[in-house]
Structure 1
């Protein structure tokens, strides 16, 4: 494949993310760097990566149909949209982990974590997304829309499980949710009373508002301090 056609990011068969860069050891030629562990400074030429770690999936934007499904789910959830999304991430993680052997498989947790954030594994959004799914509690059924959570979880699974493409989850989800929230009137319209900016659940506000509304027009970083 010509250099100009190489995708900037790909995900390999073991759900590791790779970023296209210039490698000094290869004379400045384009190479993919293992983005799941920058400290390792592991680089492979595109053809070597395809041979050793393929099949590779390019990281691409979400399909329009997926965006429409998310927006419909958020609309249905109303002020429960933020908590519903947090629960959906938790549900998606649990489903993906089952595909890797579940609790009985020692490697399943780490593989699933890699799979969920392979689009940009080193980003703060990816870190926050993983923390979000740990914080969410699907037993608090009164705080979320179960049908909407199922829809969102299914979309997220599709993003990271498709055979020929991969959609980055954390930053993409935050961008889409922030846009939707602004269209509804801002954060108060998509989050319940326990997740408002002055709520006592500071961790919940940090994880939901801090990620899902990070691209919102009225985002206030001071809320997170």
Structure 2
């Protein structure tokens, strides 16, 4: 059985009468996804990067017993999306910086909470909805890189918008009974706002413009644009 067939069968299990959520996050903020193993008809959950962490496949019942409670990964609700888009629109050309600062602050909040829980100030909660995606990798890099630096530059972000974004993202990742994947959903919402606002110049300051004499290095600017405008129709000409 090749990878495509296993993926199709896993999706079929998650959408069938078994009612297995395709993705779940456990009590340790570890993400899992439904997998169909070769020569085994029963669907199991496999951990994201489980091979690195000594986590083997488990059935839903085994996973619930050993690492529960489990939270299914679900889409954001309409009210949450509206709060984010309103905050980004209100931020104007400080929207991009506000997103990066928000990601840094929620990452710090998760790290502090993990330190209280386990004594280790390392948390993967922000990425647990789909840790292996390129969007999650971008969020990790941008939050702890440029986001950390911009957090010390209050003139470059909108404080009220940051407060709203942090509150919504905390709800997405900390509420009991559900978990909303952050990286791709946030990028999609930013792209929508950017398109409605007139493109990248309307949602980012002069330091994040390509070719700016006073801006960040080109590779930094492109990494920010690449993530935040990933599904922008204006940017990609769709």
* TM-score normalized by the length of structure 2: 0.84
The aligned counterpart of 2:79 is 65
Q: Distance in 1 between matches of 2:51 and 2:235?
A: 30
Return the match for 1:133 from 134, 143, 148: 143
Paired residues for 1:93-172 under 5 Å = 93-101=107-115, 106-109=119-122, 112=123, 114-134=124-144, 135-136=146-147, 137=149, 138-172=151-185
The aligned counterpart of 1:92 is 106
Shift of 1:85: 0.6
Shift of 1:105: 6.5
SS of equivalent residue, structure 1 residue 43: coil
Q: Tell me how large the CA RMSD over aligned residues is.
A: 2.1
Q: Distance in 1 between matches of 2:207 and 2:80?
A: 28
Change (3 A) 1:38 1:183: farther
Is the Cα–Cα contact under 8 Å of residues 10 and 18 in structure 1 kept in the other structure? yes
Change (3 A) 1:163 1:96: same
**Structure 2: 5+ residue runs without aligned partners?**
1-13
Shift of 1:162: 0.6
The aligned counterpart of 1:206 is 222
Change (3 A) 1:12 1:41: closer
**Structure 1: 5+ residue runs without aligned partners?**
221-225
Q: Distance in 2 between matches of 1:105 and 1:219?
A: 43
Shift of 1:208: 1.7
Query: In the TM superposition, what whole-angstrom CA distance separates every residue of 1:2-37 from its partner, at most 9, and x where no partner exists?
Result: 754110000001000000110226x13211111143
* TM-score normalized by the length of structure 1: 0.88
Task: Give the paired residue count.
Answer: 215
Shift of 1:141: 1.0
Q: Is 1:193 the equivalent of 2:193?
A: no
Is the Cα–Cα contact under 8 Å of residues 36 and 118 in structure 1 kept in the other structure? no
Q: Distance in 1 between matches of 2:225 and 2:51?
A: 28
Greater than 4 Å deviation, 4+ residue runs: 38-41
